[in-house]
Amino acid sequence: MMTTDSTMRCEFIAGLRHLAQFLADNPKVPVPTIGENITLFPEGSDDEQRATVDRVADLLGVPASGGTHYKTVRDFGPITYEVLAITEERMREVEAAATYYGAVTP
């Protein structure tokens, strides 16, 4: 889910700042070695999701690309900010494949 609600946005940013300060103040607390992703999934129809990805890509100053997984990505050091739209068709394929989970054992 994503939001531009100012209260939720402020709370999210404050949480990131608190985490960063906590890690800076506590150097014995481990951090990931390969970085982390913040991935947002827009809601709506395929066209609405793609339009959201395009809007965020413009705001980030990076291109959007892809097919069934249409996304925009910007790296901030080892932290990746990504907005990802997955087509309804692809989601149906994944859900259909998941119905076989546990029915077949290798």
Q: Could you tell me the pTM of the whole model? A: 0.81
Look up residue 106 and give its amino acid. Answer: P
Residues in the chain: 106
How far is the C-alpha of 12 from the C-alpha of 39, rounded, in Å? 14
Closest CA to 90 of 81, 101, 98, 100: 98
* DSSP per position, 59-106: HHTS-EE-SSEEEEEEEETTEEEEEEEE-HHHHHHHHHHHTTTTT---
Mean pLDDT for the stretch of residues 85-106:
85
Residues 37-59 pLDDT 10s? 999 999 999 999 999 999 999 99
Q: What is the pLDDT of residue 94?
A: 85
Look up residue 98 and give its amino acid. Answer: A
79's CB contacts (< 8 A; 6+ apart) are 35, 36, 37, 38
Asked if residue 106 has pLDDT above 80, the reply is no
Domain boundaries, the chain: 1-31, 32-106
Q: What is the pLDDT of residue 83?
A: 97
